[in-house]
């Protein structure tokens, strides 16, 4: 597989750099490394990477400030690499426009899966394209029909309420990505609902009862504890770099 995607790794911890660089290089990606926020800024401008893996704990700059800076000038996907103890920071990172996060420690497979998903979303917008083309999103036996505003499991209408449908449809549009509690609340129930996670939990419990075989062990919508929810990725392969990508 010849992925010529360039990934900028912004990380000051040498052992993590070595681990991530080896995993990505073996998978065929071109890897650049910046060890500080300042260096990252220069490299983003010079090399225009396809994806940025960003450690939030850098020596010279707050990682969240780096995300702000990146988002001022580009939509390059950013995956935050963060320690488990910094849950609130992950939420802020996602709300500032980071695409995803991985929590240390993580394995090679998890990292590569997140990288593929992030690149796929920006490069080909597979989900949005599929949705635009057939008005549907499918993962496993679950189908969201955006025209009929219905969700089907194994061909059967799941019987979701309007808000339940809206929640599932929103997660499906961004399948594979974590949407934060506040973002979901704001989109479905409006600004005044921010912080009211209870309404979200109740709706999600009802949704899971209707769409999951085992609501306690969901396969379609995953909980990212303390952060938000993520819809399972739809099917489809990562396109090659040559498939017509523009910066």
Q: In terms of C-beta density within 10 A (0-12 exposed, 13-18 middle, 19 or more buried), how is residue 53 classed?
A: buried
Nearest residue (CB) to Ca ion, 16 versus 141:
16
Give the shortest CB-39-to-Ca ion separation in angstroms.
Answer: 13
231 within 8 A of 178, measured Cβ to Cβ: no
Among the candidate windows 11-19, 23-31, 77-85, 205-213, which touches Ca ion by CB under 5 A?
11-19
Q: Which of these segments, 55-63, 162-170, 201-209, 239-247, binds Ca ion (CB under 5 A)?
A: 55-63
Smallest separation, CB 3 to Ca ion (Å): 26
- Is 41 near Ca ion (CB under 5 A)? no
Ranked by CB distance to Ca ion, the top (closest) residue is: 57
Identify whether the C-beta of residue 101 lies closer than 8 Å to the C-beta of residue 94. Answer: yes
Strands laid side by side in the 150-153 sheet: 136-139, 142-145, 150-153, 156-157
Of the two residues 16 and 219, which places its CB atom closer to Ca ion in the complex? 16
Choose the binding region for Ca ion from 7-15, 38-46, 111-119, 196-204 (rule: CB under 5 A).
7-15
Q: Which residues are CB-contacts of 213 (< 8 A; sequence separation ≥ 6)?
A: 219
CB of 48 to Ca ion, least distance (A): 24
53-61, 128-136, 147-155, 221-229 -> range binding Ca ion (CB under 5 A): 53-61
The single residue listed with the structure tokens 């912080």 is: 195
- Smallest distance, Å, CB 57 to Ca ion? 4
Least distance to Ca ion from the beta carbon of 56, Å? 8
Please, what is the minimum distance in Å from the beta carbon of residue 11 to Ca ion?
A: 6
Name the one residue in this structure whose structure tokens are 């800076």: 69
Phi, psi (rounded to 5 degrees) for 168: -65, -40
55 binds Ca ion (CB under 5 A): yes
Helix (H), strand (E) at residue 70: helix 63-73
The Cα–Cα gap between 190 and 137 comes to 25
Q: Examine residue 57 and tell whether it contacts Ca ion (CB under 5 A).
A: yes
Per CB under 5 A, residues contacting Ca ion are 12-13, 55, 57
């Amino acid at each position: 597989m010849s992925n010529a995607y360039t990934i900028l790794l912004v990380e000051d911890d040498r052992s993590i750099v070595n681990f991530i660089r080896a995993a990505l290089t073996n998978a065929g990606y071109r890897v650049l490394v910046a060890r500080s926020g300042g260096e990252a800024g220069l490299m983003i401008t010079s090399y225009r990477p396809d994806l940025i893996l960003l450690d939030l704990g850098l020596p010279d700059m707050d990682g969240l400030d780096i995300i702000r800076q990146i988002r001022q000038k580009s939509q390059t996907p950013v995956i935050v690499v963060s320690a488990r103890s910094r849950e609130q920071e992950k939420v802020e990172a996602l709300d500032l426009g980071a695409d995803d996060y991985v929590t240390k420690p993580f394995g090679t497979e998890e990292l590569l899966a997140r990288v593929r998903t992030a690149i796929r979303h920006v490069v080909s917008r597979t989900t949005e394209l599929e949705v635009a083309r057939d008005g549907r999103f499918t993962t496993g036996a679950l189908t969201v029909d955006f025209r009929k505003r219905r969700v089907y499991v194994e061909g059967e209408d799941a019987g979701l309420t309007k808000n339940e449908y809206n929640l599932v449809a929103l997660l499906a549009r961004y399948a594979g990505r974590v949407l934060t509690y506040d973002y979901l609340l704001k989109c479905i129930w409006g600004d005044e609902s921010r912080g009211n996670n209870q309404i979200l939990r109740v709706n999600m419990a009802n949704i899971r009862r209707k769409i999951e075989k085992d609501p306690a062990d969901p396969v379609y919508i995953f909980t990212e504890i303390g952060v938000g929810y993520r819809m399972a990725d739809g099917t489809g392969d990562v396109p090659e770099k040559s498939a017509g990508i523009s910066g």
